[in-house]
Amino acid sequence: MELNEHENGTSALEKVTGVLHSEADLEDKEDVLHHADEELKPDYSTFSKKQLAELVKDLSKDASPIKAEAVLREIKPLYDEIADKEKAEAKKRFLEEGGQADDFEYRGDEFDMMFDANARLVRDRKHQFMKQQEEQRNENLRKKEEILEKMRELLDGAGASNQYDAFQELQKQWKSTGPVAPAQAKTLWANYHALVDRFYDNQSIYFELKELDRKKNLEAKNELINKAEKLMSATSLRDAIKELNELHHEFKHIGPVPKDEKEAVWQRFKLASDAIYAKRDEFVKHLQAELHVNLEKKLKIAEEVLPFANFNTDRIKEWNQKTQEILALQKAWEQIGGIPRAKAKEINKKFWNAFKAFFHAKNTFFKKLDEEREANLKIKQELLAKAIQLKESSDWDKVANELKGLQQRWKDVGPVPEKVREKLFKEFKEACDFFFDQKRGQLQKEGDEQSANLKRKEAICQALEEAAANGTATQELLEDLQAKFSAAGFVPRNAMNAIRNRHGEAVDKFVEAIGGLSDVEKTQLSLKTQLNELKGDPFADKKIQQKEQNIRKKIGKVENDIALWRNNLEFFARSKNADSLRDEVNQKIKVAEEELSELKKQLKLIRSI
């Protein structure tokens, strides 16, 4: 009855009561740990489109096609959600730009092609792997059935003396042959154990060899137990569970041990296994507590992020301030560990929806701002081009006013893109500065020249005054000095009236001092001198025209007076004092006619200029 470990495909260690009941229990415990690990794996819902595409690329090279395909199934809906959103936005832009819905065609981008190609590769690898696994299981089934048949033939044949070694060889072949489909496994194991039992029952003459074999099995199982006990100090609990699973598989395939050692061996192996599972249970307990603490932290941050979804302002500074705040919350969010998977999708959606809504609004604001800045850039480029065009001009007053107008418009125009702001303003300022520097230089030069002109004119006035005082005044000298005065050019504005008045007075004194001239000739000479002086005046035409109008008004007044007086002579005949009145009026008419003659000469002189 020592062979009961193999009855009906169920080993004795699977029937022992306690924490660990069977290999199936081991698989259940491994599955629990697997789910615990699932809690800690990356949260793919936070991945960007690029990150998901690169993840699938890595999965296409993963050593485990089954695992890779499972991850692909999890992330495919996430990727499709992002891709569908981009497609909808592209179609919206297409329609807004005047396109027809039937003409819309979306090709996707490089990440779409990368994702689809590698996804197909992942599925193909899994399909190929499963096909190979199925083919291998079928081949293993064929081999094991062939081994069972050879065992039957060996047991049915004669010559038991050499059956032991042959049977042991068949057992080795059985152990080295891989697994079969679960549907056939139980029947195969039942047949195998039945044949083993039959072999040992029929081979009683080899009892000593059997006992020796059991001792070897004992050594092998003790070696496995030693390995299991060492797993207590393993740093990675997951690796320890995985290795323990492999040890159980080996333990199951080792034959029976001596009866008196069987229970002790199993209890020792079970004790080491239970200790590791106890560590696992403690780990899972602490893990669950930690996950719930993390959940509370993330719920709090998600609530803090919610108001950002509705934030809006027209101030860049406030957008930047809020961005720093939400990024700080994101950093705190990412530093928190995993949370229960059952809550992960809901809480992640709550956080990231608000996060994305904020940045969508921010991008919309800055997109509009960029459009406004581009429009402002065009305006300022036009102002710059105009300033560059004007900077070489020497029409100082007119262009100065134009440039001042451009500078005011420049201030009124809003901001331009930051990358060109400094360069554009520098070029505009340089153009304006160039003109005003040139203008200041010219004004300085003109100021120096005008100061020199003033000194020359003052010297001429002094010469006129001295000639009038010492009796050396002549018409020739007047003409010479007057020509020099006119040629002297402009004087400073603040000295114009003073030098003009001094010159006028000096000329009057000079003319008055010239000998041999009648009063009429002196008047004519003074007028001629004044007119010659006006030739160099920038407003000469206007001043001469004004002088001509004044003389014409005087002529008109004198002519009216003469006509009136002549008309009055007709009434003097009736008066007792007619003769004396007539003489008085005739005298007035004579004086007026002389004045009229003088005025007409002056007018003629003016019109000759």
Judge whether residue 252 has pLDDT over 80.
no
Mean pLDDT score, 224-250? 83
Residue keyed to tokens 């009236």: 497
pLDDT at 543: 63
pLDDT classification of 17: cutoffs 50, 70, 90: very low
User: Rounded mean pLDDT of 401-419?
Assistant: 88
Residue 475's pLDDT is what?
Answer: 78
Residue with more model confidence, 128 or 341: 128
Written as six digits, the tokens of 20 are 């660990």
Maximum mean pLDDT: which of 322-336, 429-443, 455-469 = 322-336
Between CA 604 and CA 607, with CA 605 as vertex, the angle to 5 degrees is 65
Average pLDDT, the chain: 80
Work out the average pLDDT over 425-435: 88
Length reported for the chain: 609
Most confident of 168-177, 202-211, 471-480: 168-177
What pLDDT score was predicted for residue 193?
Answer: 83
Q: How far apart are CA 304 and CA 523, in angstroms?
A: 99
Helix (H) or strand (E) holding 457: helix 418-470
Per-position DSSP letters for 516-578, written without gaps between them? T--HHHHHHHHHHHHHHHHTTSTTHHHHHHHHHHHHHHHHHHHHHHHHHHHHHGGGGGGSTTH
What confidence tier does 244 reach under pLDDT thresholds 50, 70, 90? confident
Query: Where does the pLDDT of residue 119 fall: very low under 50, low under 70, confident under 90, or very high at 90 and above?
Result: very high
The structural domains of the chain, with segments of one domain joined by +, span: 1-39+203-356, 42-174, 416-538, 544-609
Q: What pLDDT does 29 receive?
A: 46
pTM more than 0.75: no
Looking up tokens 């009736």 gives 574
pLDDT on residue 18: 34
Three-state SS for 228-288 is: HHHHHHCCCHHHHHHHHHHHHHHHHHCCCCCHHHHHHHHHHHHHHHHHHHHHHHHHHHHHH
User: Which of 4-8, 43-47, 548-552 is the least confident region?
Assistant: 4-8
545 or 29: which carries more pLDDT confidence? Answer: 545
Of the candidate ranges 179-188, 361-370, 541-550, the one whose mean pLDDT is the lowest: 541-550
Task: Give the model's pLDDT for residue 405.
Answer: 92
**Distance between CA 99 and CA 36 in Å, rounded?**
52
**pLDDT at 385 exceeding the cut of 90:** yes
Q: How far is CA 430 from CA 221, 296, 376, 424, 426, in A?
A: 93, 61, 20, 10, 6
- Region 338-347: mean pLDDT is 84
Which residue matches tokens 């092998």? 220
Q: Shortest CA distance to 66 belongs to which of 131, 159, 149, 117?
A: 131
Whether 295 and 341 have beta carbons less than 8 Å apart is answered as: no
CA 554/CA 64 separation, integer angstroms: 121
**What is the tens place of the pLDDT at every residue in 103-114?**
888 888 888 899
Distance, in Å, from the CA atom of 549 to the CA atom of 572, rounded to the nearest integer, reads 35
